[in-house]
């Protein structure tokens, strides 16, 4: 059995009605003949779109194959015991050239009952934001299901939604059940549970190139929505240079940000988990076991559980999201 090493995967490109060109112009990823690109799936265990290794001697093998073969050596014992041969996280880049639909995701319990799937808790890190960009996260007041239905049916759903001004570096944590949308002009890195279940609530009456409106999931959404009002929707964190700063921790993932201008080392030996790096700025080289793995803006890399320590070397500086399961 081959020894595991830092793994890169082939990007999966998704054409979306609201997608744009920033995947190409900002992240320098070529989506070929697609007219535009709304999402890239960078590391995925979703059955319809399983990632395939792009580097080293395991090139061409799928993430599902690796999990079956390496099990806890790839993801950690606790993770493997819980998730088995399903990789538990999905990592994406999202380019919203137009507003996404107003939507909500079910939690584990509802998703299991309806779809035999995991729920979808997620987080967003804003890589780049056009001036005046906004997004929606949650409600701007306490609502009941009846108030929500009345507002939706009378075309006034936007009146009760919480709109946030957004800048690069902003972080939003979105537990399952939170009504949300990514607004026009945002380029985002998303870390989420392995799930592709979205209930579309409102789509601004848009039509596709065939003149068709996209399907809505009005009834399905009712039981999924958290109707509570929260005083804070944006994640507060203190940005610091050359330190590991925690952004989000939840049962599904922990995500830190590393904003470094100098070399550093990371000891992952205490973690019973894989680690994912998502490079959102700059570039660096991972050194481990005498080998070097360059990583640049727009790239993701999976460090298997068997890698306990890495050196991160840089001349230009880097900013990465570091995710694992505690």
Matching residue, tokens 């995710």: 323
Structure tokens at 221: 């959404």
* Domains assigned to the chain: 12-222 (2.60.120.10), 244-324 (2.60.120.10)
Burial string for 129-157 (b: 16+ CB within 10 Å, else e) reads: beeebbbbbbbeeebeeeebeebbeeeeb
Q: What does the pLDDT look like over 276-323, one tens digit per residue?
A: 999 999 999 999 999 999 999 999 999 999 999 999 999 999 999 999
- Average pLDDT across the chain, whole number: 96
Per-residue pLDDT of 158-199, as tens digits, reads 999 999 999 999 999 999 999 999 999 999 999 999 999 999
15 CB-near residues (< 8 Å, 6+ apart): 34, 35, 36, 37, 38
| 8 A C-beta contact, residue 275 and residue 323 | yes
pLDDT at residue 207 in the model: 81
pLDDT, position 124: 98
- Region 71-91: mean pLDDT is 97
200, 206, 214, 270: the catalytic one is: 200
Query: How high is the pLDDT of residue 88?
Result: 98
Q: Rounded distance, CA 229 to CA 174, Å?
A: 13
pLDDT of residue 208: 77
Q: What's the confidence (pLDDT) of residue 213? A: 87
End-to-end CA distance of the chain: 27
Summarize pLDDT for 241-280 with one digit per residue, the tens. 999 999 999 999 999 999 999 999 999 999 999 999 999 9
Instruction: For residue 200, indicate whether it is catalytic.
Output: yes
Distance in angstroms (rounded) separating the CA atoms of residues 261 and 274: 25
Mean pLDDT of 10-36: 96
Integer CA distances (angstroms), 318 to 13, 66, 119, 257, 315, in order: 24, 29, 32, 10, 9
Is residue 1 predicted with pLDDT exceeding 80? Answer: no
Q: How confident is the model at residue 209 (pLDDT cuts 50, 70, 90)?
A: confident
What's the pLDDT at 205?
Answer: 84
The pLDDT assigned to 212 comes to: 87
**Angstrom distances, CA of residue 149 to CA of 182, 200, 227:** 22, 14, 11
Q: Above 90 in pLDDT, residue 85?
A: yes
């Amino acid at each position: 059995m081959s020894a595991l090493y830092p793994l890169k995967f082939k990007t999966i490109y998704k054409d979306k009605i609201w997608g744009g060109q920033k995947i190409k112009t900002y992240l320098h990823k070529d989506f070929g003949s697609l007219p535009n690109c709304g999402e890239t799936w960078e590391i995925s265990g979703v059955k319809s779109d399983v990632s395939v290794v792009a580097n080293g001697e395991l090139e061409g093998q799928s993430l599902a194959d690796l999990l079956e073969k390496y099990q806890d050596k790839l993801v950690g014992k606790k993770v493997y015991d819980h998730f088995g041969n399903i990789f538990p996280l999905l990592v994406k880049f999202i380019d919203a050239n137009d507003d996404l639909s107003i939507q909500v995701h079910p939690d584990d319990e509802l998703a299991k009952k309806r779809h035999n799937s995991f729920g979808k808790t997620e987080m967003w890190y804003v890589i780049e934001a056009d001036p005046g960009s906004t997004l929606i996260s949650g409600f701007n007041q306490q609502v009941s299901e009846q108030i929500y239905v009345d507002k939706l049916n009378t075309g006034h759903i936007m009146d009760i939604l919480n709109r946030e001004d957004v800048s690069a570096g902003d972080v939003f944590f979105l537990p399952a059940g939170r009504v949300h949308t990514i607004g026009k002009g945002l380029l985002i890195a998303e870390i989420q549970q392995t799930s592709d279940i979205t209930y579309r609530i409102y789509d601004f009456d848009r039509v596709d190139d065939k003149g068709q409106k996209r399907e809505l999931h009005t009834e399905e959404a009712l039981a999924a929505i958290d109707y509570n009002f929260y005083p804070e929707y944006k994640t507060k964190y203190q940005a610091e240079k050359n330190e590991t700063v925690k952004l989000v921790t939840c049962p599904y993932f922990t995500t830190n940000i590393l904003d470094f201008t100098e070399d550093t080392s990371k000891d992952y030996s205490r973690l019973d988990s894989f680690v994912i790096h998502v490079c959102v700025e700059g570039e660096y080289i991972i050194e481990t076991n005498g080998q070097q793995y360059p990583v640049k803006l727009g790239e993701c890399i999976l460090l298997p559980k068997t890698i306990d320590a890495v050196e991160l070397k840089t001349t230009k500086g880097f900013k990465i999201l570091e995710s694992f399961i505690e």
